[in-house]
Copies of this chain bind each other. A is one copy, B any other.
Amino acid sequence: MATIRDVAKLADVSVSTVSLALSNPGRVSQKTLERIRAAVQTVGYVVDPLAQSLARGRSRMIGFVVGNVGNPFFGDIRRELENYAIEHDHFVLITDSSGKPDRERALVEHLSGLKVAGLALAPSGHDQAYVDFVQNIKMPTVCFDQKVAGIDRDFVGSDNRLAGAMLTEHLLQLGHRRIAFIAGPKHLHTASERLRGFMETMGSAGVEVNPNFIVDGQFTRSAGYEAAMRLLVQPERPTAIIGANNAVALAALQAMQELGFNCPDDISLAMIDDVQWSSVITPRITMVIQDTLKLGGIIARRILHRIMSPEGAADPAEDFVLSPKFVPGNSCKKL
């Protein structure tokens, strides 16, 4: 590998001039610049990112930390971020915390050691220690998906209360009253907001909520399955179920199928967040989806703004909240 010294020797200038020419061509005379560029070509010089990062104390990489890179929601966001980053000569390091705050922390520390220029972080924790940890991250950071109370960082996400409300409203209009809700972990903002949207909408419609109809699905397939089973074996079953996310909703669908209930004839189903092959799942589930591409675009722009512009680094934290979109399927029956 050719080093900057090889270039300097060939162009007959000092190493510092080569460095200057490469990072700030304007401050070097035209003639020297040409000689240096020619030399770079002939020796095939490419800057060593490690050495550069060490010297500068910052790399041209952006850390992307999520709980599950396989989740298409994060996948779309990642793709947007990557494309935008490449345009601006940055490189995205993808990491997966498996949703574990400990692992997430180790990842962030590792990325910090790598001197990444910025961080796109989907928070997975919620307690005070976690909040302190995120607050103390030294690099430009944009949080997304989960809004965590106490974290004063840029946040990009969707209006989850509205998402819950939209599905509830839809079912109410179809005549449903016995609506069940498979909720997510209480401590997650998205989960609690979605539930709040449900409760409020039911409340303002004057429909009483059967407490047995609110079950905890932990946003996971297995817990969602258990929760759905609890709903379905009750003597007085719900006529409709809302899954607070895709995993619990599809787990509920599986539970219905196994118990021989037909959806939507026996029980209607609606969910928040899309899933990869939703269009071939029978029935096509009525859902509310997030605009992942737009979310990704905002995250990308925001983080690169903070990285690249001097004033951007000091911008106060801001929240960007998008409205979700209603996508009708055929999993909800009119009563």
Contact = CB atoms under 8 A, between A and B. Distances in A.
Contacts of A114: 49-50
Interface string A103-126: 000000010011100000000000
Contacts of A71: 70
Interface string A49-62: 11101100001000
Interface string A72-92: 100100110010000000011
Contacts of A93: 93-95
A69 B75 CA distance: 8
Given A49-B113, A114-B49, A277-B281, A96 B96 contact: no
Size range of the interface on A?
Answer: 35 or more
A129 interface: no
Contacts of A115: 50
Q: Which of A49, A70, A93, A279: most chain B Cβ within 10 A?
A: A70
A96 B94 CA distance: 9
A233 interface: no
Nearest to A251: B280
Interface in A126-168: none
Contact of A277 (B70, B94, B275): B275
Interface string A245-281: 0000010011001000000000000000001110111
A329 to B, nearest CB: 13
A48 interface: yes
Interface in A278-295: 279-282
Q: Which of A72, A92, A113: most chain B Cβ within 10 A?
A: A113
Given A49-B110, A92-B95, A250-B277, 12 more contacts: A48-B54, A50-B50, A50-B113, A50-B114, A51-B54, A69-B70, A70-B72, A70-B276, A93-B95, A254-B279, A275-B277, A281-B282
Leading 10 A-B pairs by shortest Cβ distance: A70-B75, A94-B94, A282-B282, A49-B113, A50-B54, A254-B280, A69-B69, A253-B280, A250-B280, A250-B277
